[in-house]
Amino acid sequence: MEAGKVCFPKKYHRRPQQQLLEEKQRTKPPAISLHWLLFCLLLPSFSSCLSPAPMPTHESGEEWLIHYGYLPPADPTTGQLQTWEAVTTALRVMQRFAGIAETGILDNATLGLIWMPRCALPDITPNFPSEKANDIPVAFTCTFYFSHRVKSYPRRARLSRETMRVLIYYALKVWSEAIPLTFHEVGDHTADISVEFLQLDHHDSYPFDGPGGMVAHAFFPRDPQRAGTVHFDGDEEWTFRSPDDFGTDLFAVAIHEFGHSLGLAHSSSKHSIMHPYYQGPVGDPLQYQLHIEDHAEIQKLYGNTFPFCCFPPTQYPCSRLGKGFPDRCTSNIDAVAQIRGETFFFKDQYFWRLSQSRHLTSPQPALTTHFWQGLPSALHKVDAVYERPADHRILFFSGPLYWVFKDNSVEEGYPRPITDFGLPQGGISGAFSWPSDQKTYFFKGDLHWCYDETTRHIEEASPLLQESWEQFSSVDSVLSESDGTLYVFKGQQYWKFDQETLQLQAGYPRSIATDWLDCTIEPLRIMPTSPSLGVKLPPNFRGPQLKIEERVCFCAAFCAISSTLLNVLPWALLTLQGLA
């Protein structure tokens, strides 16, 4: 089975040290094969062929075209050479795919491509599947959610492990924003997508070659044993937003790799993230969006709405979904915060995460101390969390202490006492930063404090908020969105207040579980059965309301039943036709 083996170029190609030593020890010039002579005849002048200065000693010319799918393999039984016409045609196809002039000769631009490190997956794959995802015999089962895990990291890296984890998450999120799949990270379970940083020969038939050359590979969904496996070269200099001539951007490569994991081949479009040649950093993970071509191609496989049965799975049995975790559908929330445009709901030691489009990333909560490393492992509850507008630092409050994070990493010198803010040692119930007056508000019961982040002093709240504060007393949490809209959470309900007048909007309170945490769906429409079957159901029977965990289990059962019916139905119809 082919693997999406990605070799992204750097400014210079660096060959393995062992190969360089062997070349230095050679005393004779490499012989030029008959195949290569035929290939060189396509050059504008034969003199340039006689001095192939930077020409590789292997995988050159004809072999390069064969490897990347432009020429069929030579017949080993006859040893027949490729024809002039076949080589010329292959060159033109290769040039067209790469977006350079179709000369049909081995000109400088074409030589540059042959030398350029790139993806080892063939560009031309005649038998590449074009079916929809649910037609592909993948190794996954039916569910809306599936897991990922970073199993290992490079031994030496400029990027911290936390940064790598975040970039991996956002690379997956790029695809989940376009299709009905969501991803959640697991720490110690078998994951549906497994990410590893490995070196040289790692026993999967696709060895790495040190710095440069091949930097990563992924396996397609059709590979039942290795589907979901993604390997990055641990010898690469992984970077983020660095210049093109320094290192390789992990976020850009990861998006490409996960495209292969989801079933996409290479694209000839230079605008596509699936173009086989590395094109440098792609920008801010919070702002990056798929090119229209990639968006369309992935939706051809998975669609853009939630089907009953969809690829791929979480590996956990239905009976284990939610086991040992707080129930988001019945629990009161400890704290709510908007961080980097996403919404986080905290309960005990866990949190649920909603994307910018308010889609729950996983029905199971994640452990807060695993995501924000630096919080104490014994942390049992978070009182308040908010993102500081001035520098986008993330502040956690629990009891008499607070922590300041830059992304997922705690800054030095923390925790510190909350008395730094002029707050009492007894702790707070919540906090939010309100963009309307650029102040941060802390509250506990009927008490509230207005903190100026610039002067670092407690000040009087704005008159508008002072007049309305009684509406916010004794609440569990307050969420302030970037436009100034305030949401107040108490118990299992929430209220929405206008950002300009702070007046309660009509139609509230509403359910937190239903509106935010995806706890209910449309009821199953079970039709009353025929009296001849001996089963009587009330005419208005509509079936139970299902939580999302139950929906996943129902989906799996529905898939199994549907698959059986679809296999049996054609034979039943043929039998009926024969009887008729």
Residue set of the binding site: 119, 192, 202, 204, 209-210, 217, 231, 233, 236, 256, 260, 266, 274, 334, 383, 429, 431, 476, 478
- Structural contact between residues 365 and 328, judged by C-beta atoms closer than 8 angstroms: yes
Q: What distance in Å separates the CA atoms of residue 313 and residue 525, rounded to the nearest whole number?
A: 25
Alpha-carbon separation of residue 452 from 51, 367, 401 (angstroms): 72, 31, 19
Contacts of 196 (CB under 8 A, 6+ apart): 150, 151, 152, 202, 229, 230, 231, 232
- What are 373's strand-pairing partners? 375, 409
Angle (nearest 5°) at CA 355 between 167 and 303: 95
The active-site residue out of 2, 62, 257, 387 is 257
Amino acid identity of residue 287, one-letter, is Q
Alpha-carbon separation of residue 436 from 356, 485, 525 (angstroms): 21, 9, 46
Picking from 458, 489, 201, 223, the residue whose alpha carbon sits closest to that of residue 335 is 489
Picking from 552, 576, 74, 147, the residue whose alpha carbon sits closest to that of residue 317 is 552
Q: What is the DSSP letter of 529?
A: P
Distance from CA of residue 184 to its chain's centroid? 9
Parallel, antiparallel, or unpaired: how do β-strands 145-150 and 182-185 relate? parallel
Binding residues for Zn(2+): 119, 202, 204, 217, 231, 256, 260, 266, 274
Q: What is the DSSP letter of 32?
A: P
Whether 185 is a known active-site residue: answer no
Contacts of 412 (CB under 8 A, 6+ apart): none
Q: What distance in Å separates the CA atoms of residue 335 and residue 490, rounded to the nearest whole number?
A: 10
Alpha-carbon separation of residue 225 from 1, 222, 316, 348, 387 (angstroms): 10, 9, 18, 38, 43
* R_g of the chain computed on alpha carbons: 29
Q: Is the peptide bond before 76 cis (omega within 30 degrees of 0)?
A: no
Q: Measured between alpha carbons, how far apart are the two ends of the chain, in Å?
A: 46
Alpha-carbon separation of residue 235 from 156, 162, 541 (angstroms): 8, 19, 61
The phi-psi region of residue 377 (left if phi > 0; otherwise alpha if psi is between -120 and 50; otherwise beta) is alpha
Size of the chain in residues:
580
Residue 91, phi then psi, degrees to nearest 5: -60, -45
Binding residues for Ca(2+): 192, 209-210, 233, 236, 334, 383, 429, 431, 476, 478
Residues catalogued as catalytic: 257
